[in-house]
Amino acid sequence: MRIFVTGTAGFIGFHLARLLLAEGHQVAGFDGMTDYYDVRLKERRHAMLRENSAFSATLAMLEDDAALSSAVAGFAPDVIVHLAAQAGVRYSLENPRAYIDANVVGTFNVMEAARVAQVRHLLMASTSSVYGANEVMPFSERHKADTPLTIYAATKKANEAMGHAWAHIAPNASTPATSSTACPISARSHPGPPPRWPKRSTGFMPASSPQAPTRPRASALPKPPR
Ligand SMILES: NC(=O)c1ccc[n+]([C@@H]2O[C@H](COP(=O)([O-])OP(=O)(O)OC[C@H]3O[C@@H](n4cnc5c(N)ncnc54)[C@H](O)[C@@H]3O)[C@@H](O)[C@H]2O)c1
């Protein structure tokens, strides 16, 4: 399959791209190499991916609609996995505008590029931060996510709502996937279990939907090298 992955220089995107390449897929990466954390680490990740000739990359920002749509149209992907985002809870208190630009405007651009290119599926990363002020623990995909407490969470929740609307107007489907705090690998250390992705999806399902898909156990995912 031809899979377009945004955020391939990032923590999850890099590991996903490696897995997809190892499975024999063609992968086009897209990343703006933002300086939210060490750019040299991101460059090293892309250099590792480039060792596989099935990988190509565009270095540009999601907000650059012309660059994004041209990269998508040129690659003609079957599937887009949208992981690039301004992530992080604390930084959203310092620089909230970065979240609006990358996550709201940028994600809209991804959806439009996917619609025009008529991709078969668009999978987008959400976050457990969307559960915000929910009091029932542990959080579950079955819970509502109407009370985000940070701009980061609010933009991700907005993405889920945009995805719902987009799935009704576009001929293809989208699935926001919720990732809880990710696995303790790579140079960035995250406590907690590995991210979980839907095994397959058949249409739009908000991360907080009662019909959210059953996800593979984290232990079923291949273990990346430390
Ligand atoms: N890692 C986690 O614990 C976690 C938890 C919940 C949700 N998520 C979500 O998963 C996704 C991936 O997270 P991650 O940990 O790999 O993040 P990351 O910060 O390591 O990677 C994000 C990548 O996106 C790129 N990027 C950021 N803004 C961009 C823009 N405007 N245009 C182009 N590229 C841009 C960055 O350069 C970076 O390489 C994000 O959507 C995040 O919100 C992650």
This prediction's pTM: 0.83
pLDDT given at position 203? 34
Q: Is any atom of ligand 1 closer than 6 Å to the C-beta of 44?
A: no
Rounded distance from Cα 210 to ligand 1 centre (Å): 26
209 vs 145, which has greater pLDDT? 145
Quick one: what percent of the chain has pLDDT higher than 70? 75
User: Residues with catalytic annotation?
Assistant: 152
Kindly indicate the confidence band of residue 148, based on its pLDDT and cuts at 50, 70 and 90. Answer: very high
Q: Is any atom of ligand 1 closer than 6 Å to the C-beta of 34?
A: yes
- Nearest residue to 54 via CA among 75, 80, 71: 75
Domains of the chain are 2-220 (3.40.50.720)
Q: Is any atom of ligand 1 closer than 6 Å to the C-beta of 85?
A: yes
Beta carbons within 10 angstroms of residue 75's beta carbon: 20
- As beta bridge partners, residue 174 has 122
- Nearest residue to 192 via CA among 183, 203, 202: 183
Cα 166 to Cα 1, 93, 105, 113, distances in angstroms: 23, 29, 14, 12
Q: How far apart are CA 146 and CA 134, in angstroms?
A: 8
Q: pLDDT digit string (tens) for 54-82?
A: 999 999 999 999 999 999 999 999 999 99
Q: Ligand 1 pocket test: which of 31, 42, 58, 72 has the largest number of ligand atoms within 8 Å of its C-beta?
A: 31
Q: Ligand 1 pocket test: which of 4, 8, 12 has the largest number of ligand atoms within 8 Å of its C-beta?
A: 12
Q: Ligand 1 pocket test: which of 92, 100, 127, 183 has the largest number of ligand atoms within 8 Å of its C-beta?
A: 127
Rounded distance from Cα 39 to ligand 1 centre (Å): 13
pLDDT given at position 196? 36
Rounded distance from Cα 125 to ligand 1 centre (Å): 9
Residue 220 reports pLDDT greater than 50: no
200 vs 14, which has greater pLDDT? 14
pLDDT given at position 60? 98
Mean residue pLDDT across the chain: 81
Q: Per-residue b/e over 35-45, b at no fewer than 16 CB within 10 Å?
A: eeeeeeebeeb
Atom of ligand 1 at shortest range from CA of 98:
31
Q: pLDDT digit string (tens) for 187-219?
A: 222 233 333 333 333 233 444 444 433 333 333
